[in-house]
Structure 1
């Protein structure tokens, strides 16, 4: 990829979900707004330990939303948001740039 697509000194995080709430979209709505947050990753089968990803000075880089039809009128969706952030830690372990 051309280096112009990425900013040096930035960390990137992609979040995939079946549904992105309007409240989360409002956090990304304004131009040049930065935010801090965290995402807790939980295994519903309790086979993988829970992880908490904490990030700071973040902004949205891209958004994707898809809907697919299945059999008998079933449908499902998937959404993905990529964010760029200045700081990140996973389970309180700081990820250095």
Structure 2
């Protein structure tokens, strides 16, 4: 449901893949910045790097899910079933 909504809003898989790669770079940058600019020590820098680094798998997973949604949509358009499927989904939602 969430992936379908994101897809309808125009969010595409390439955006999520880009966000995943950017979050890896941001994790490394935040680790360096925290280590050099804060007097809190290496432990704090590690926590910042790990915190931001955990975003990457989420973005990549959302990218894969959106890619599947894009592929499904393309297959439905190719077979002419898109309008029929939307009618059925709309009918089930009203019950």
Q: Using structure 2 for the length normalisation, give the TM-score.
A: 0.25
More helix by share: 2
Task: Give the TM-score taking structure 1 as reference length.
Answer: 0.24
Q: Which has more strand, going by share of residues?
A: 1
